[in-house]
Amino acid sequence: MAKSPKTIGDTPRPEVPPASEIAAIIAGTHGDPFSVLGIHQTETGFCARCFIPGAETVTAVALNGADLGELPRIDPAGFFAGPVAIGGFHPIRYRACRGDAEWTVTDPYSFGPVLGPMDDYFVREGSHLRLFDRMGAHPLKHQGVDGFHFAVWAPNAQRVSVVGDFNEWDGRRHVMRLRRDTGIWEIFAPDVRQGTAYKFEIIGKDGVLLPLKADPYARRAELRPKNASITAAELEQDWQDDAHREHWASVDQRRQPVSIYEVHAGSWQRRGDGSLLTWDELADRLIPYCSDMGFTHIEFLPITEHPYDPSWGYQTTGLYAPTARFGEPEGFARFVNGCHKVGIGVILDWVPAHFPTDAHGLRWFDGTALYEHADPRQGFHPDWNTAIYNFGRIEVLSYLINNALYWAEKFHLDGLRVDAVASMLYLDYSRKEGEWVPNEYGGRENLDAVRFLQKMNRLVYGAHPGVMTIAEESTSWPKVSQPVHEGGLGFGFKWNMGFMHDTLSYFSRDPVHRKFHHQEITFGLLYAFSENFVLPISHDEVVHGKGSMIAKMPGDDWQKFANLRSYYAFMWGYPGKKLLFMGQEFAQWSEWSESRPLDWNLLQYALHEGMRRLVRDLNFTYRSKPALHARDCEGDGFEWLITDDHDNSVFAWLRKAPGQKPVAVICNFTPVYHERYTVPLPAPGRWREILNTDAEIYGGSGKGNGGRTEARPGSDGRATATLTLPPLAVIMLEQEN
């Protein structure tokens, strides 16, 4: 390499930096190129320095096109430096030539920083709630020039560059500026357009070049198997959902009907050729279907960017980017807007517990354990082969909390179902003795995770009161759905895993044996109001060899369908919000697979169509009868009527709400047909049969009470009704005026 002359004859060359600095710029090892490149003031005026590989000549040009002077080439690798006719520190461009080729480069090192001292302050404090507007890649008109501002947290790196299609993936061209107080690197890259692929090139503290990293805050990503981040415009959506959002922000969600349809967006339906639907195509099909079925919410398995289809989205590498599988992020915003216009909420399955170890992801991000714990006893999850977030690090908490706020604000999401909460709460989760590190008090509780969940819930509900958070928490951790100020975790709801396990165990038994397991139905009412529960029949119950819901039921085909119909009606009459995974509403026989669409052809058969029709009627009955939903989470909304008829496996209870007509739910969980069965009711008079799972329209035998029954005063002061109880069926009665 030629030496950089500091003088020509007796003339000093103050615009030329030392040879070692030039060599570091050319080699891409300089940690602070802003101190070398760009506009610099000398005793005689201003000079410009640039590194443009492949250029033979370079002329500095003002933004208005005026020539500022040709720069001498100091090094044949493409380093140029010389005085320029400029009056201050202004952005400039370079007209570069090589042979007949000519191109223009706007100098990224002639621009000032974008982030400011208040950003630094809030980042250090952990109180920055707009990081999604500051970190990552954002379009910006900066000092009169359009481009993208890039910012990434990598405090232990020697050098960070943004590389992409705009600089031929050359890490020497856009080395970023380090903000030492925060460990954030930033640069304004002029002339970068939206839709451009990019990553971060990082040299770790030991001088080792790391695998290219996707942007942790990227708002768009390439379609798998590619994994670069994509520059994206700020989300623009003509939101037409004020009424929907105002409603949910003004009500007590515990007292509203909530019936959730859980969906894997890639396999609900597909095109005829087997390819995935776009968000707009899903909107055309899924929204009308859910509206007709009476579901109040759609909950998506994670739709954040993830590299591996069979992970179902639970191993995400891009928490801020809706996956490219279904199109651009604007498509998802249109989908949410369409749902809200017809009164359907959208809940996102959210995964802040762990992340995959893919080389382009968060693991060992700057050459150190940055987002995860360095100690594998704390930072590695043996069940899922994933890394565990370091909840004790302020920057990691900010990354995750900002993500929750991002989805609520930018995409108007109605809720977050937080995955794997139990794995977060316990330091010894799925670990043997000696494989975990106790907390500061010697216990197994992950106090950092507790503080994270409390802070996340407090901030989400504080900023977006209409949003609900739901914990998938499978242990008896206390006060999961109690407010933070009362010592709770602050979730709005908790999945009732005990209900799911006990009731599925009961219904999978042959009816002749059910009388010996009566407590599997009654036990759940001992704790049904200890939390605000969602009753989940989720994807987890129909995968990994567990079979579909209809396949779990005992007996011949008729009994299987009768059992499942009675199970659904039992669940919809039971206190708690409802969640049902797609395909189970029409009793799909096969186990769910993410690789194929649901078996919609089954709806041509009466039993399957009858099941779908029952779920639809259950939803609308549940929604239209306040007694069935207004006290889902409070004990005064439930009263046992029959709880001890083990021999007949009959149960009956009352659902009620202040000022509303009560609804009696009567269950006969054997194939025995009872023509004259006495049921106590709270008041005499006519009671209307508002639902009967044995109705012929659902595929049943058509036995029932002719639409109504008469309750007569009893000798003990209570009323009783003599009912027909259809086999393997549930009926619901409502008191008439």
222 labelled catalytic? no
Does 119 participate in catalysis according to the annotation?
no
DSSP code of residue 362: S
Angstrom distance (rounded) from CA 635 to CA 443: 33
Provide the 3-class DSSP secondary structure of residue 252. coil
Helices of type H across 427-556: 447-463, 497-507, 519-522, 549-552
* Element holding 118 (H helix, E strand): helix 117-125
The token pair at 643 is 């709880």
How many angstroms separate the CA atoms of 95 and 67, rounded?
9
Percent composition of the chain: helix, strand, coil (DSSP 3-state, to 5): 30, 30, 45
> Read out DSSP for 389-413?
B-TTSHHHHHHHHHHHHHHHHHS--
Q: 291-317 burial, b for 16+ CB within 10 Å, e for fewer? A: eebbbbbbbbbbbbbbbeeebbbbbbb
Sign of CA dihedral 720, 726, 728, 730: negative
Residue found by looking up tokens 């451009």 in the block: 196
Return the H-helix or E-strand segment holding 628.
helix 626-629
Answer whether 57's CB lies under 8 Å from 96's CB: yes
**CA distances from residue 70 to 73, 82, 105, 106, 275 in whole angstroms, order as listed:** 9, 8, 14, 15, 55
Take residue 608 and report the two structure tokens written for it. Answer: 């399957």
Helix (H, G, I), strand (E, B) or coil at 65: coil
Instruction: Select which of 305, 419, 617, 632 is catalytic.
Output: 419
- Torsion angle in degrees (nearest 10) through CA of 118, 121, 123, 128: -60
Angle at 579 between CA 705 and CA 280, to 5 degrees: 115
The three-state DSSP-derived secondary structure of 433-458 is CCCCCCCCCCCCECHHHHHHHHHHHH
Q: In the beta sheet, which residues pair with residue 50?
A: 80
Catalytic residue among 472, 531, 632, 689: 472
Cα 615 to Cα 455, 508, 521, 570, 581, distances in angstroms: 37, 20, 21, 12, 12
CB burial string 554-587: b at 16+ within 10 A, e below: eeeeebbbbbbbbbbbbbbbbbbbbbbbbbbbbb
332 CB-near residues (< 8 Å, 6+ apart): 279, 303, 322, 326, 411
Helix (H) / strand (E) containing 469: strand 468-471
Which runs of consecutive H residues, i.e. helices, occur in 182-310? 242-250, 279-293
Three-state SS for 261? strand
The 10 Å CB-count burial string (b at 16+, else e) for 140-151 is bebbebebbbbb
Give the SS3 label for residue 489: coil
What's the distance, CA 321 to chain centroid?
Answer: 10
CA atoms within 13 A on the CB side of 408: 27
Phi first, then psi: what are they for 523, rounded to 5°?
Answer: -60, -35
Q: Which residue has the tokens 């952990």?
A: 126
- Give catalytic residue positions: 419, 472
